[in-house]
Amino acid sequence: MGGVEQTQYSANFIETCQEVDNYKTVLDYVNASLMGVVQRNPKLISNPMERMEYEYHENENPFEALYPALKDICGQMNNGGNELKKQLDAAAKLGSIHRDFHRRSRRCLRSVRLFLCIEYEELCEARRILNERRQDMDFAKHELKNAKAPEVVEMKNLVYENAQKHFESHLQKVITFITGCPN
């Protein structure tokens, strides 16, 4: 701002905000990598900011899709049917195990995605509002310094104290939010 002196945040506050931003960047990468491991079909991997629905629909799991084909072949074969029946049983078991794996992986990634999709966005919004409060406080301080008449000084002092109170309360909210984030 022009001739308005800007209030500076403490080095510790700036460093902590930077750590949270770095944490978010790393979590984005980890989340994308884990979703790539969990769901090998890239068509079914959702955008990290969307609903996490990478599970196969009913009977679309590759192991479940293999089961009817193996069952048909097993019924047509006379010799070696026992070996194929073992494969048939394995395909049925792998389908349910794979579906359970997807369900469990979703549960494990829930807190990561909660931070990425909701908590980090709330923190960014709180930091944006904090910067607005800081600008309001700095402008009120500038107006107070430039006031000449006693009644104007008194009024500007009340405005400055109010702006400072709003800034401090919002700063405490942001600090509380940041300290609640994982390190």
CATH of the domain at 104: 1.20.1270
Residue 43 lies in a domain: yes
Residue 151 lies in a domain: yes
pLDDT tens, position by position, 7-33? 899 999 999 999 999 999 999 888 888
Residue 1 lies in a domain: no
pLDDT tens, position by position, 25-80? 999 888 888 877 877 666 666 665 566 666 666 767 777 777 777 777 777 766 66
DSSP string, 149-178: SHHHHHHHHHHHHHHHHHHHHHHHHHHHHH
The whole domain housing 123 covers: 11-180
Residues 181, 140: Cα–Cα separation, whole Å:
32
Axis crossing angle, helix 81-114 with helix 62-76, rounded to the nearest 10: 170
Residue 128 lies in a domain: yes
The total domain count for the chain is 1
pLDDT recorded at residue 41: 65
Residue 79 lies in a domain: yes
Q: Indicate the pLDDT class of residue 159, thresholds 50, 70 and 90.
A: very high
Residue 6 lies in a domain: no
Q: How far is CA 167 from the centre of its chain?
A: 26
Residue 2 lies in a domain: no
Q: Indicate the pLDDT class of residue 172, thresholds 50, 70 and 90.
A: very high
**When comparing pLDDT for 97 and 128, which is higher?**
128
User: What distances in angstroms separate CA 150 from CA 146, 153, 157, 162, one per listed residue?
Assistant: 12, 5, 10, 18
pLDDT recorded at residue 42: 64
